[in-house]
Structure 1
Amino acid sequence: MTSITKEEIHKLLNPMKVIGLGGNPQLNEKVASTLGVPLIETTVHHFSDGEIQVNVAESVRGCDVFVIQSIQDPVNENFMELEIVLDALHRASAHTVNCVIPYLAYSRSDTKTRSREPITAKLIANLLQLTGIDRVLTIDLHASQIQGFYNVPVDHLHAIPLLAQYFLDNGIAAKDDDDVVVVSPDHSGTKLARVFGQYFNAPIAIVDQRGARYDDSVHDMIGDVKGKKCIIVDDLIDTGTRLASSTRSVFAAGATKVYVAATHALLSQDAIKILNGLPLEQIVVTDTIKHEKYPDRMVRISVDRLLAKGIDHIYNDRSIHDIFDEQNRFTKD
């Protein structure tokens, strides 16, 4: 008699189903292709008054469903689309419903800094959990403590090793390279800069911008960047204002070349125009967010394999920590 493994039983009883929503269709297709699982046909219809109707074309009863949605511009529309699909899957008796959110909007609103200010990241967590989700898989939250806003497991993947690998593979930086300094655009990003710098054994510097608004007349650097090749690292690029100010500060302090590494490219308002006007060598980002147009000298690294590994590990009850170990071995060897 042929024996059957626990994993095979799981796949028979609770098959994997993947749904890709409208936030970033190209990334959805890449992730599904990497997994070798076709996307479920899902129809999204917008009524004339803005209401959203979603139809899932096949049964998900007893299935482990993974819903991929990058909550990007239009943020509220994409978030509501996700919420409606999650409710539909819960009512359709899916075995588990897992949110795969490459970019989780509202993550910057993670604390109360003044009177009568909301903590919107917590509100988003509450709204997602109202639909009965089982898990969240995301990449590079603006603040890691947001994981604590959820009462379900949150698997927080990191794109920093992918970005670091790009700089190593293309000879921009090397291990123990005395010419490279990793720069944080402000004090809150120091931890991220330190982690990124470890891949090159490079020192870090901090742009010490003062005041509520970035003042181009003040160029304060903590750390030595004179005569160095600098990599400004951040979790996201929004309007480009902070990056522009940081770039000018770094050059004013004597840097010879400036590169940028960031996970999420929001590129809102006049970001493309601002970034095109900066004397940067390259801007290296991931494809967590999709746009019709990108700045010059922007390189996009896909996170499809990273997300697919995360989904595969969750589905097969394997530790997500294995992914971190694999990334560290691959990049730091």
Structure 2
Amino acid sequence: MSEPATRQAGAVTKKLMFFAGDVHPELAEAVATRLGTQVTPQTAHSFANGERFVRFGRSVRGCDAFVLHAPAPPLNTWLMDQLIMLDALKRASAKRITAVLPFYPYSRQDKKHRGREPISARLVADLLTTAGADRIITIDLHTPQTEGFFGGPVDHLRAQPLLAADLLRHHQDREIAIVAPDSARVRLAETWSVLLGSRPIAFIQRRAALDPAYPAPAQLIGDVAGRLCVIVDDMIDTGTTTAGATRLLLDAGASDVVAVATHGVLSGDAPARLAASGIREVTVTDSLPITEAQRFPQLRVRSVAPLLADAIHEVFTDGSVTSLFSRPASGG
């Protein structure tokens, strides 16, 4: 897809402008190339005390602005960076502002488990609104209900079709079982089962027990003997759950184990933990930047740039983002 970044709508000419923070330039350039545009030049720096500053190098008055930011570590710094960019666009009279967050920060804090706790995912939505976002584009929220925290439209994109097609290309002839790492991910496992042609599902009780620090045993529900087990989740952070699940599945007779997740957070010792777990491969997307220190032999990365670019194009042209879910994943 490559079209001019302007289009005529009656007597009104719409102008698309694409903006991106400094944290994930590879994804930004890939999205811009597919859109047939460029990342708008900007000046950005930090003051000595850590405060961020952003100024755009071109007029943004009346534009349809799309602001891509991937809140990688340090997450709070980059989240603030995006808020500042949204505020600058609002004050410079951009007509419509869409925050593009491939990974939605604080998405795991979407409800109160006990008293006196925050609902930080709602706070992020409020901050985006206050800063000037009229719309959000994001991929695979931790829980779909998070969409309701934002008062405007939310385009919740799905990376599972892209990842499922990739998995089938490599393991089409294998006997596959989909594994949810806990009961909360059974619904996700059901989605994967459909995408892969009604494969059987297993799930693990007592997710916390997959951490060696917890002595209580985890329990596997479902038959995985002789099958390629596909652990599915929305993100892999420390890798503790995935590594523990891999050991449990191999002990239960699985022929091989792979893990698939949209967001490769891969914090701390996660790469080493996963590399030593006995897992065959781990596939994530580039919704977050993957540094050299985070890479390990079993890691595979798929790009979500085509998905994001197609969604931006549909929003800009007043098309249907939903239509993206009814046709095969393209590109990358």
**Residues 239 and 274 in structure 2, CA contact (< 8 A), matched pair in contact too:** yes
What is the root-mean-square deviation in Å for CA atoms of aligned residues?
1.8
Q: What is the Cα deviation at residue 213 of structure 1? A: 7.0
In structure 1, distance between residues paired with 2:169 and 2:130:
44
Q: What is the Cα deviation at residue 291 of structure 1? A: 2.6
Normalized against structure 1, the TM-score is what?
0.92
Gap change, CA 1:138 and 1:188, over 3 Å in 2: same
Q: What is the Cα deviation at residue 220 of structure 1? A: 1.3
Alignment of 1:1-333 (within 5 A): 7-9=7-9, 13-170=13-170, 172-174=171-173, 179-200=175-196, 201-209=198-206, 214=211, 215=214, 218-293=217-292, 294-327=295-328
Percent identical among aligned pairs is 39
Q: What is the Cα deviation at residue 281 of structure 1? A: 1.2
**Residues 209 and 215 in structure 2, CA contact (< 8 A), matched pair in contact too:** no
Tell me the SS of whatever aligns to 2:162.
helix
**Residues 219 and 252 in structure 1, CA contact (< 8 A), matched pair in contact too:** no
In structure 1, distance between residues paired with 2:84 and 2:218:
47
Structure 2: gaps spanning 5 or more residues: 1-5
**Residues 235 and 264 in structure 1, CA contact (< 8 A), matched pair in contact too:** yes
In structure 2, distance between residues paired with 1:11 and 1:220:
64
Structure 1: gaps spanning 5 or more residues: 1-5
Q: What is the Cα deviation at residue 78 of structure 1? A: 0.3
In structure 1, distance between residues paired with 2:286 and 2:238:
17
**Residues 209 and 216 in structure 2, CA contact (< 8 A), matched pair in contact too:** no
In structure 2, distance between residues paired with 1:252 and 1:216:
17
In structure 1, distance between residues paired with 2:80 and 2:10:
31
Tell me the SS of whatever aligns to 2:202.
strand
Q: 1:129 is aligned with what amino acid?
A: T
Q: What is the Cα deviation at residue 111 of structure 1? A: 0.4
Tell me the SS of whatever aligns to 1:225.
coil
Query: 1:78-125, CA deviations, whole angstroms, 9 ceiling, x for partnerless residues?
Result: 000000010000000001111111111100000000110000000000
Q: 2:124 is aligned with what amino acid?
A: I
The count of aligned residue pairs is 320
In structure 2, distance between residues paired with 1:196 and 1:301:
17
Tell me the SS of whatever aligns to 2:327.
helix
Query: 1:143-169, CA deviations, whole angstroms, 9 ceiling, x for partnerless residues?
Result: 100000010100000000111000112
Q: What is the Cα deviation at residue 209 of structure 1? A: 2.1
**Residues 14 and 95 in structure 1, CA contact (< 8 A), matched pair in contact too:** no
Q: What is the Cα deviation at residue 210 of structure 1? A: 5.8
Normalized against structure 2, the TM-score is what?
0.92
